[in-house]
Amino acid sequence: MMSERLRELEAIREEVRQGPDPKATERQHAKGKLTARERIELLLDPGSFHEVEPLRRHRATGFGLEAKRPYTDGVITGWGTVEGRTVFVYAHDFRIFGGALGEAHAQKIHKIMDMAVEAGAPLVSLNDGAGARIQEGVTALAGYGGIFRRNTAASGVIPQISVMLGPCAGGAAYSPALTDFVFMVRETSQMFITGPDVVQAVTGEEITHNGLGGADVHAGTSGVAHFAYDDEAECLEDVRYLLSLLPSNNRELPPAVVPEDAPDRRTDALRDLVPVDGNRPYDVRAVIEEIVDDGEFLEVHEAWARNVVCALARIDGQVVGLVANQPNVLAGVLDIHASEKAARFVQMCDAFNIPIVTLIDVPGFLPGVDQEHGGIIRHGAKLLYAYCNATVPRVSVVLRKAYGGAYIVMDSQSIGADVTYAWPTNEIAVMGAEGAANVIFRREIAAADDPEAVRQQRIKEYKAELMHPYYAAERGLVDDVIDPGETRAVLVRSLAMLSAKHADLPARKHGNPPQ
């Protein structure tokens, strides 16, 4: 009878929804963690989730596995919507095999990843797993290989977001590392290649799980995580916010909204926010807040390489990526980490058709033996390569200092910025006036009866001849010098003009960027 079959089906579906015994759910909640289904409910629009292969079970034998064959095999896969737009998701269910990956588990993930690429929609992974399922041996390892291959194939095609909500150890950590954005939750999520026990056995160092690979470590020290949060609800809310700023795939533009903030709104507050004295610090985030719609922006890698700020926001309803030197930290110099951070952000924006606005106030690259030995040349070249390779609209504004090679790297006109502006406070030069005078007039200063007086006179002359705010404009190195109060309006007009920009790169398999 059909009615009997339907009752049987509903009983099975209820078992799937409930998961393993209630004690497993209680243990999950006791750790301060939500279940996989509770997480999906927070991520997706209410009632929009459609599960794929909920009745899948593993077929492994040995080590008692044949007697334990729960539905879903420890991972929930499917699709739903975020603000009405399709998003694919998979979520490890730690209550089943500790979320460990086996053959069936991996095949479910492979399938949903393939579906996301074919549908041209973002993929979000909610990670809470204990790694490979040891009882299934190398079959589990092959499952990870399939995930990594698909992560790589989908890179730059659809947005991939990894949300770390539990442990992620060993080779499993490489999947998040291959995705566009990594979110972590403090205390409950950790990522590392080798755990604390192995570290202690090999090096003698004692360290906790969070001390080795917790959210704050990866958000502020290693740069592995882009965002860190105190709880899962706040984390998933920002995942939704990020998705609202990204296109579904690389063939679409980011979603636009009807702005409430006037496009010609003056930004006169900027006149006082940025000191004329190039040695005085300020928070460039206040400049960004003044320029973008309603002062709202999502800062990426906020706690790592803080001498450069990368953020997503809207200007006149259109999504833009902002890259800005941060004078509040290390005077806004570029160093190894800042170069890497900005380069990856520029590449992400270019991959997903997001225009780039660059705010420049950079005194140079950070000097030092550690920086040189650490490869500042090749790391700085990553940012240079990223900008030169980017075909999206690019607008740059020199707020104050723009010295030497760091100025060139920060999307100067010479490397392909479409439109470049400068404030009247700009100082575009090979180096600061003091350093330049010391080099050019070294012998004259040394031979003078009053070296300091001569030095100050030559500094004044150098500034007057080569560092006045119109020097670069006179030579066509910037398109115009603008009133800071007009910055937002100028950016709105420039981005509108560039909205239909089309640029083709030379035919090639791929470039060979500096590593």
Catalytic residue among 156, 170, 374, 404: 170
Note if 405 is an active site residue.
yes
Contact yes or no for 353/500 (Cβ under 8 A): no
Instruction: Mark out the alpha helices in 246-398 (DSSP H runs).
Output: 270-273, 284-291, 336-351, 369-373, 376-389
Contacts by 196-205 with C-beta closer than 8 Å and gap 24+?
A: none
In angstroms, the Cα distances linking 371 to 398, 405, 432, 513 are 25, 15, 21, 20
Contact yes or no for 436/461 (Cβ under 8 A): no
Catalytic residue among 223, 405, 435, 485: 405
* Sign (positive or negative) of CA dihedral 38, 40, 43, 47: negative
**For residue 283, which of 304, 307, 266, 314 has the smallest C-alpha distance?**
307
The span from the CA of 183 to the CA of 128, in Å, is 12
Note if 170 is an active site residue.
yes
Note if 331 is an active site residue.
no
The span from the CA of 182 to the CA of 409, in Å, is 26
Rg, Å, the chain Cα set? 27
Label residue 96 left, alpha or beta by phi (over 0 means left) and psi (-120 to 50 means alpha): beta
Residue 6 class from Cβ within 10 Å (0-12 exposed, 13-18 middle, 19+ buried)? exposed
Catalytic residue among 154, 172, 386, 406: 406
Residue 333 is encoded by which pair of tokens? 């110099």
Contact yes or no for 87/121 (Cβ under 8 A): yes
DSSP string, 105-146: HHHHHHHHHHHHHHHT--EEEEE---SB-GGGTHHHHHHHHH
Catalytic residue among 171, 375, 416, 485: 171
The span from the CA of 298 to the CA of 186, in Å, is 19
- Residues marked as catalytic: 170-171, 405-406
